[in-house]
Structure 1
Amino acid sequence: MTADRTVTETIAATETATIVADIAVVGGGLAGSLAAAVLARAGHRVALIDKRAIYPDEFRVEKIGGHQLEILRRLGFIGGLESVGCPYDRVLNIREGKVVDVSVGRAYGLPYADLVAMARRQMPDPCSLIVDEVTAVRSSDDVQHLELASGRRVNARLVVLATGMAGALGYKLGIRRRVLAERHSVSFGFTIARRDGAPFDFEALTCYGERTADGIDYLSLFPVPGGMRANLFMFRDPTDPVMRDLRRETEATVLRLLPGLQPYLGDFRVTDRIQNWVMDLSVVEGHLQAGVVLIGDAFQTNCPAAGTGVARLLTDVERLCTEYAPRWLMTEGMGREKISEFYADRDKVASDQHSLKMARFRQALTSRDDIRWDVRRRLHFLRRSITHRVDQMRPGWLAHVRTALRA
């Protein structure tokens, strides 16, 4: 990370040459900011180090729902999320212009930068944020030493790397990233509105791809404070000419690829810049080191279409910051045997494995054109459609079945 000198340093307490903390969190995106807030609220001395005082607008997490809300509630962030997110409760799911089913359940849409800012505001002491760049980490079984670009140092018992896919600092520690699937998926983000200014006829909508050759998993439309946000997820070569078409002629290209959308969108336009993201599936190796632990994308990346990234991140934060880090700090030392407990945690391992499994499943369900997957795809949507129709005839039936299965 390179320190952003265009922002004002707000950390008056960090003018000293050496800063002492229990835990140093490197990387102030969602994972790092949430982790720092949880740990600081528990009474630990935390230094959150990031190059930016205000996190920029990036195309990352833009909606939160389902099991993710349960974890945020347990961690004490649900009130903060409600204050910045745009709530919605029903998602109309369509394919080839026909309704597949309707998803019911509270969710929130919001810009990633607002989500990060919310997490940072939960820190009891704003001075815990150090706007600087970590240039080196010297780890040991006892105290970890971080050198900053400003010349200052941070000494901490534990270092949490939440640097996302930026691997420079990890590389210096001997941590390597192994790519499991290069250019696994492509995502686009943009905001839309009707040209006549009228609202859309749906609260939120998901439109699934119609042809395997197009490589489209789905287009998700959901409200955010600034309008109706669109997230398009594809399994297609990023160099394909259609990617250029999506950037230059977004409205026409979206309707060409998903013609069943036209009756639902009407005459619409894109109201902001098109954001694009190409994702590799990867995991790290050489990460089991004394005094240093990796969370979120710093440990393993996810397929955005699978929707498992936030759940993985939240699982990492919850298990590390409520179970392991507080217990580690109660005894001397911070050797590999302690760090290994987190990486072997049952919930974390299950979440990591589920994320990779869903990434491969979404790609196969979207793109595989052999008979086996063609049949499986048809059955997948047919089962959803039949379940939806039965639930319409007998409202509450599906909820009762799910409750019985969980019992």
Structure 2
Amino acid sequence: MTADITVTEPIAAAGTATIVAEIAIVGGGLAGSLAAAVLARAGHHVVLVDKRAVHPDEFRVEKIGGPQLQMFRRLGFIDALANAACRYDRVLNVREGKVVDVSVSQAYGLPYADLVAMARSQLPDPSSLIVDDVTAIGCSDDIQHLELASGRRIDARLVVLATGMAGALGYKLGIKRRVLAERHSVSFGFTIARTDGTPFDFEALTCYGERTADGVDYLSLFPVRAGMRANLFMFRDPTDPVMRDLRRDTEATLQRLLPGLQPFLGDFRVTDRVQNWVMDLSIVEGHLQPGIVIIGDAFQTNCPAAGTGVARLLVDVERLCTEYAPRWLMTEGMSQEKIAEFYSDPDKIAADQQSLKMARFRQALTSRDDISWNVRRRLHFLRRRITHRVDQMRPGWLAQVRSALRA
């Protein structure tokens, strides 16, 4: 029997023992908050459950550009994103003290917590956010039952699990996480400023590693409201002493690892705490179950250096919330066969596979020291330099070629 969603009780009523909704989303990070906003704005009765009313500040600071902006625009969030972030349009790409090329395209930089706040602000009814902790989920072909730490209960036709890398709930359901590459990458994040207080001579800059032994993929510098954000991505043993050096003496260690950075950066200082994160590549198993679907990092983690995390997440949200969930709700039941349609979606599969492919490519391009990868690395940057020089001599040529290839 399917619940009658037209007789649901108000979500905001604190004394309500059981809340009835069409869709319950567990996890109010970016994936869950975006999914809730998309579905609620389409008229679905959605509850979003998270332990915190305001997402806390954390390590991640995102830069959003390229195809990601197109997806934010299609989902209807582009204006809210622009209002919350710092825009920049040119990225100077350098290696070994020389300009590789210049990327010219619209992009935005903002902390992950601000990105989540932006997504939550798009909820038509703020009371659809329930600040509580889901302690158990019971799934079936019909109605899903969620138990909350407060003693309340949620009954919903569909549960969307968007809990990131927190796996306790999934584990209770028999969903396991399989590690594909342990300690795959290390990321550092901090904010910098010039010691003399003057602005940098660039809007944004990417400096690529110079020696395979250093394990440095690249340093990305881009503006956020707090200043110039620095994200450093490495493929190196997290226990290596250089990790300690980067935390304790960041300026000197960066100059040692990236000597070609000095002419572009000048004298600088770190203005906040240096944080770092070690990332495993992993994917879930046992996830095909009736009544529950898993999205974002809860399904598959990403290599931060590959820059595919937000793109993958947006594909999950767009395909689930604009295609599958609305169609599933039009008929009775929430069978395993319905849920399987999402996991078999070609766009989702392609995004997941591309994310893993780029993770392995970035690691090999950074660290592999055999002849074939040495040649490939040289050709990679040489091709970019030549293309940039030709585009300087014939402005607009590169854009015309790219447009023709897309046609």
CA distance in structure 2 between the partners assigned to 1:146 and 1:101 by the alignment: 52
Identify the residue that residue 285 of structure 1 maps to in structure 2. Answer: 285
The structure 1 segments of at least 4 consecutive aligned residues displaced by more than 4 Å after TM superposition are none
Amino acid across the alignment from 2:25: V
Map 1:237-252 onto structure 2 (within 5 A): 237-252=237-252
Identify the residue that residue 376 of structure 1 maps to in structure 2. Answer: 376
User: Per-residue CA shift, 1:282-322, capped at 9, x if unaligned?
Assistant: 00000000000000000000000000111000000000000
CA contact under 8 A between 2:90 and 2:105: conserved in structure 1? yes
TM-score scaled by length of structure 2: 0.97
Q: Give 1:331 shift.
A: 0.4
CA contact under 8 A between 2:157 and 2:291: conserved in structure 1? yes
Aligned partner of residue 117 in structure 2, secondary structure: helix
Identify the residue that residue 340 of structure 1 maps to in structure 2. Answer: 340
Flag structure 2 segments of 5+ consecutive residues without an equivalent.
1-10
CA contact under 8 A between 2:12 and 2:128: conserved in structure 1? no
Aligned partner of residue 19 in structure 1, secondary structure: strand
Identify the residue that residue 367 of structure 1 maps to in structure 2. Answer: 367
CA distance in structure 1 between the partners assigned to 2:160 and 2:342 by the alignment: 12
Identify the residue that residue 84 of structure 1 maps to in structure 2. Answer: 84
CA distance in structure 2 between the partners assigned to 1:189 and 1:47 by the alignment: 33
The alignment status of 1:130 with 2:135, answered yes or no, reads no
CA distance in structure 2 between the partners assigned to 1:303 and 1:123 by the alignment: 30
CA contact under 8 A between 2:61 and 2:109: conserved in structure 1? no
The alignment status of 1:303 with 2:303, answered yes or no, reads yes
Identify the residue that residue 5 of structure 2 maps to in structure 1. Answer: none
CA contact under 8 A between 1:14 and 1:130: conserved in structure 2? no
The alignment status of 1:215 with 2:215, answered yes or no, reads yes
Identify the residue that residue 182 of structure 2 maps to in structure 1. Answer: 182
Identify the residue that residue 117 of structure 2 maps to in structure 1. Answer: 117
Identify the residue that residue 6 of structure 1 maps to in structure 2. Answer: none
Identify the residue that residue 55 of structure 2 maps to in structure 1. Answer: 55
Identify the residue that residue 96 of structure 1 maps to in structure 2. Answer: 96
CA contact under 8 A between 1:61 and 1:310: conserved in structure 2? no
CA distance in structure 2 between the partners assigned to 1:347 and 1:217 by the alignment: 28
Identify the residue that residue 30 of structure 1 maps to in structure 2. Answer: 30
Amino acid across the alignment from 2:270: V
Corresponding residue pairs, total: 397
Amino acid across the alignment from 2:387: T
Indicate the RMSD between aligned Cα atoms, in angstroms. 0.7
CA distance in structure 2 between the partners assigned to 1:344 and 1:126 by the alignment: 33
Map 1:299-338 onto structure 2 (within 5 A): 299-338=299-338
Aligned partner of residue 350 in structure 1, secondary structure: helix
Sequence identity, in percent? 84
Identify the residue that residue 66 of structure 2 maps to in structure 1. Answer: 66
Identify the residue that residue 8 of structure 2 maps to in structure 1. Answer: none
Identify the residue that residue 260 of structure 1 maps to in structure 2. Answer: 260
Identify the residue that residue 8 of structure 1 maps to in structure 2. Answer: none
Identify the residue that residue 21 of structure 2 maps to in structure 1. Answer: 21
CA distance in structure 2 between the partners assigned to 1:30 and 1:223 by the alignment: 21
Map 1:39-54 onto structure 2 (within 5 A): 39-54=39-54
Aligned partner of residue 13 in structure 1, secondary structure: coil
User: Per-residue CA shift, 1:253-288, capped at 9, x if unaligned?
Assistant: 111100111111111110111111110000000000
Amino acid across the alignment from 1:371: I
Amino acid across the alignment from 1:328: W
CA distance in structure 1 between the partners assigned to 2:48 and 2:88 by the alignment: 32
Identify the residue that residue 161 of structure 1 maps to in structure 2. Answer: 161
CA contact under 8 A between 1:217 and 1:362: conserved in structure 2? yes
Identify the residue that residue 171 of structure 2 maps to in structure 1. Answer: 171
CA distance in structure 2 between the partners assigned to 1:168 and 1:260 by the alignment: 45
CA contact under 8 A between 1:58 and 1:112: conserved in structure 2? yes
Flag structure 1 segments of 5+ consecutive residues without an equivalent.
1-10
Aligned partner of residue 179 in structure 1, secondary structure: strand
